[in-house]
Amino acid sequence: MNPSHKSITWHHPSVSKLERYQLNGHNSCTLWFTGLSGSGKSTLAFSLEKELLTRGIRSYVLDGDNIRHGLNSDLSFSEQDRRENIRRIGEVSKLFVDAGLFVLSAFISPHTQDREMVRSLFQPGEFLEVYVKCSLEECEYRDPKGLYKKARRGDIHHFTGISARYEVPVQPDILIDTETSGVQESVQFIIKQLEERNIL
């Protein structure tokens, strides 16, 4: 524990999460999209955000690339910094849930231990791991940002799937296979899953 924590006091909020739910007219949760680069995590998250908007659901996307332009611009892609990247986003996601919003976090988050660490921050039912399944071959074929080519050339180090491992979720809460399902079909499947869990 950081020694400075001894002088920090936790201030309890005067507005409860339930009161925020009542104000918004809906509950809140984190949908954590994990998968290889190019699997479609961000596309799916932003499309789901649009669908939730049409339903009057307040939500926000935390995207891996976008976050590294600001909050996590000081982090590299080393294993230690990747872990810190996920830790920070987990804490930010928790704040969004406390605020009564749906947060759609799209991060490769390659390690099971890190994803479970984030899950542990939430109450049961407030965190859903969404595994965006797509083979390395297909992701490398898509290569929308040209990152796989750079990784193969050795220009990018610690690149997940090439020079760094990805640990596939064993029992994700929701599984989306973007090689066999389109974006809108996948969005509707997630909506159905949320409804069946009485989150929507």
pLDDT of residue 63: 86
Does pLDDT of 1 surpass 70? Answer: no
The average pLDDT across 139-157 equals 92
Q: Is the pLDDT of residue 6 over 60?
A: yes
Residue 78: predicted pLDDT: 78
Q: What is the Cα–Cα distance from 182 to 177, expressed in whole angstroms?
A: 9
Chain segment 62-81, per-residue pLDDT in tens: 987 787 888 788 887 778 88
Query: Do 148 and 142 form a contact (C-beta atoms < 8 A)?
Result: no
Please classify residue 188 by burial: count the beta carbons closer than 10 Å to its beta carbon, then call 0-12 exposed, 13-18 middle and 19+ buried: middle
Catalytically active residues, by annotation: 109
Q: Which residues make Cβ contacts (< 8 Å) with residue 63, sequence separation at least 6?
A: 42, 45, 46, 106
The reply to whether 40 sits in an annotated binding site is yes
Domain 16-196: state its class. alpha beta
Range in 76-85, 98-107, 173-182, 191-200 with the lowest mean pLDDT? 76-85
Are the beta carbons of 164 and 120 closer than 8 angstroms?
no
Over residues 125-134, the mean pLDDT reads 97
| Domain boundaries defined on the chain | 16-196
3-state secondary structure 121-132: CCCCCCEEEEEE
pTM (2 decimals)? Answer: 0.90
Q: Tell me if 182 is assigned to a ligand binding site.
A: no
pLDDT at 157: 86
Question: pLDDT at position 117, please?
Answer: 96
- The pLDDT of residue 3 is 54
Known binder of ligand: residue 7?
A: no
Backbone φ/ψ region at 85: left (φ over 0), alpha (ψ -120 to 50), beta: alpha
Q: Is 42 annotated in some ligand binding site?
A: yes
Q: What is the mean pLDDT of residues 161-173?
A: 94
> Residues 29-67: pLDDT tens digits?
999 999 999 999 999 999 999 999 999 999 999 987 787
4 is in an annotated binding site: no
